[in-house]
Structure 1
Amino acid sequence: MRKYEKKETDMLTELYCNRCGKKLHVENGIAMEGVLPVDITWGYFSKKDTQRHQFDLCEDCYDEIIRGFAIPVDKKNEKELL
């Protein structure tokens, strides 16, 4: 026997890179290409205390930004992607 409960959920229909404006491919509510979602709530010692910033970066913009880092990002290969 199966019981179902109806739930209203938000489904992603469109996704854009906040830096370059590129429209990213979305299917069935899932981004079908690399995207970096950023969601930060700034804390007490920040000039942005209590502000929440959310944005998305496409993989190309992410690569451009990290190329300018004085200290490179740590990269590790994962054995299995879940």
Structure 2
Amino acid sequence: MKERSALFCNACAREIKMENGILKEDVFEGNKEWGYFSEKDMVRHSFILCEACYDKMISNFAIPVEEIEVTEL
């Protein structure tokens, strides 16, 4: 994620809490470089979702996301 003075959720436009350039809440960062055999060949999409919007997005999945417990960050 590149450094910015302000960061906003792409879904709800809520400003993400930051202090001195450091995130004070976690976000989902999506990045996709589209390649051959797509309608978006040679285009990169990137977006930020707050946790609430991420939860809303995955609640619509037909197949749930895989959850793996992590003991260390």
- TM-score, scaled to structure 2: 0.90
Counterpart in the other structure of 2:11:
19
Amino acid at match of 1:52: R
SS of residue in 2 equivalent to 1:61: helix
Counterpart in the other structure of 2:39:
47
Q: Which has the larger radius of gyration?
A: 1
Provide the aligned C-alpha RMSD in A.
1.2
* Structure 2 stretches lacking a partner, 5+ long: none
* Structure 1 stretches lacking a partner, 5+ long: 1-9
- Aligned residue pairs total 72
- TM-score, scaled to structure 1: 0.81
Q: Tell me the alpha carbon deviations over residues 30-54 of structure 1, each in whole angstroms, 9 at most, x when there is no partner.
A: 2111211112110111111101111
SS of residue in 2 equivalent to 1:53: strand
Distance in 2, Cα, partners of 1:30 & 1:38? 19
